[in-house]
A and B are shown apart, each in its own frame.
Chain A
């Protein structure tokens, strides 16, 4: 017979049965005197044995359940710091049940706190990892504690593989290592700028160190940030080149004007021919200065205008634009026996500010005529290009432009050969203007050139968009 009872009821029933049997056995023992044969004694002893055995079994089973419950609780509590554990509720109906409930409540609170902490830590990690600035945590012995992705990329390292290793060992950058050494010794924030190799290139790095402290505020090492400032430095150098060029371009004519005027005024030149020559120099330099200022203003207007709608925007046949420009430059071309060929389909239309495009084409054609040897040909072509663009190309058989200059010729005042462009009276701004006109109209300018063969400048402008494309809603 098996009793299907709950733990507590079973336990109580077991105890009751054992008690009844024990009383029965006792009653038999009380009457022993009347039965000296010992049969009753045997029966009594048997009953007592059964009662004792039953009590033992019930007690053992009970003890085991309690121990299991306690062990389960201990395991559950121990598991808590490692993350959410399964609920304990309803698994133990013993005296430990209230404890289990309390533990369960704690578990839930802890689990939600842990989840919060994990999220915060994941967020922080995500921020550190996605930062553009390279971060390195380094201890006092120059061992890498951790680094973010930017640092690993910059130094070309595997962040996990190098953890705990010496900086000097993994980053073979003398200047970086010297900086780390200084920063550890200085125990105060340091900054430095140096160059390192990264991805096969030299990069200019701005390094900063900040002492790291543990929870007790004791020094624990360094946090080093490395910022790649290569582009910034390049821009600065471009800017300073530009400033130097502007300064040179403007001061040269001014120096000449001032110098020759001073000479005529202070010294007085008796020689009539000399006087005429000096006056001519002054006039030429004044013209040069005026031309530079005119071009600078044109550029500044183009930058301000940006993509603004212009009332002058209209559908224009490309051929008439090109013809107009070539007509203006005909005498310059004739003077060098240069033939300017025009190949533009009659029906090629473009919606632009005609005067801007004329100026861009004029600058390109004028350059072609200026730099081509006498008796050569200049070809101006127009055609539809991919992506809704019109391509206006100017090709010459001039000396060509060397590759090292090609990328820079659209910069303001960039000169392939200063002496040559001075002889031709250029301002150094013509191609910059072409580029800015193209940009203002939503297009671009491209160049291909081969030294000794010639140059091919291509102006690409949106067919029907350009200035009008970003027009305000008032445009019909």
Chain B
């Protein structure tokens, strides 16, 4: 079996070397390019398993690279982890909405980066938390979402959720550890229950958390970006 290859797009050579060093130690193969255009060429010629993409690049910026890769059929499926030194939530939100899969901010811990790479790969291999027959079992069995019957069990006890709250929870729980922006949440929930605005998303989230009781921490706020369902992995916060 060939090694899983990560394409590192980073114009700072020492940071690229650091990322490559850790990924190789974990058994990944790495390639490194220093500009947006080179990244597009490299991804089209020989699509990698994952792209680690710095957003601030000479020539073509990372957001544009992300947009173009997600537009093209042959590169759309490549998971993208954005790396940003800007620390600006607007870039992260824009990147996620362009189809970026996850992000880390500089300065980052190399171990977090490796964990994120593993995470997007697992997600793309279809290793989602779906157990069987439309049932999502989460938080070591403490939370069960039965999508067929529209029932949520907290520690085995059913809780009453509105249609919107259910849709929100279900949408986030499908991708634990991945941030969803408010607009992404609206797009996913829209039509299924009711029309949402970005402020009402917050209101529904608050109501949902109250009903989840001691499991409320599973729905995490990512300041300035959106919400995510807590990752079932060891603590990864920088």
Contacts and interface: CB of A to CB of B under 8 A. Distances in A.
Contacts of B106: 251-252, 254-255
A376 to B, nearest CB: 26
Contact of A251 (B14, B17, B18, B87): B87
A254 B109 CA distance: 11
Interface string A391-418: 0000000000000000000000000011
A81 to B, nearest CB: 57
Given A259-B110, A260-B18, A419-B34, A252 B86 contact: no
A130 interface: no
Interface string A415-426: 001110010000
Interface centre among B14, B15, B21, B58 (most CB of A within 10 A): B14
A66 interface: no
Contacts of A419: 11, 34, 58
B15 A247 contact: no
A244 B85 CA distance: 8
Nearest to A257: B107
A247 B21 CA distance: 25
B85 A418 contact: no
B58 to A, nearest CB: 6
Contacts of A248: 56, 85-86
Interface string B88-109: 1000000000000000001111
Interface in B88-134: 88, 106-111
B12 interface: yes
A344 B107 CA distance: 49
Contact of B11 (A259, A260, A418): A418
A244 B58 contact: no
A281 B106 CA distance: 17
A425 to B, nearest CB: 13
Contact of B86 (A244, A260, A262): A244
A320 B34 CA distance: 45
A256 B18 contact: yes
Nearest to A422: B12
Nearest to A417: B58
B85 A251 contact: yes
A247 B58 contact: no
B85 A252 contact: yes
Contacts of B107: 251, 254-255, 258-259
B63 to A, nearest CB: 13
Given A244-B56, A266-B111, A281 B21 contact: no
Interface residues of A, number: 21
Contacts of B87: 247, 251
B155 interface: no
A187 interface: no
B109 A262 contact: yes
Nearest to A244: B86
Contacts of A258: 107, 109
A266 B108 CA distance: 14
A266 to B, nearest CB: 7
Contacts of B110: 259, 262-263
B25 interface: yes
Interface in A248-287: 248, 251-252, 254-256, 258-260, 262-263, 266-267, 281, 285
B22 interface: yes
Contacts of A262: 109-111
Contacts of B111: 262, 266
A458 to B, nearest CB: 29
Given A256-B12, A263-B21, A422-B12, 16 more contacts: A244-B88, A247-B85, A248-B85, A251-B107, A252-B15, A252-B85, A255-B107, A255-B108, A262-B111, A263-B22, A266-B111, A281-B14, A285-B14, A417-B58, A418-B58, A419-B58
Interface of B: 11-12, 14-15, 17-18, 21-22, 25, 34, 56, 58, 85-88, 106-111
16 contacts: A244-B56, A247-B85, A247-B86, A247-B88, A251-B85, A252-B12, A255-B18, A255-B85, A258-B109, A259-B108, A259-B110, A262-B111, A267-B22, A267-B25, A419-B11, A422-B12
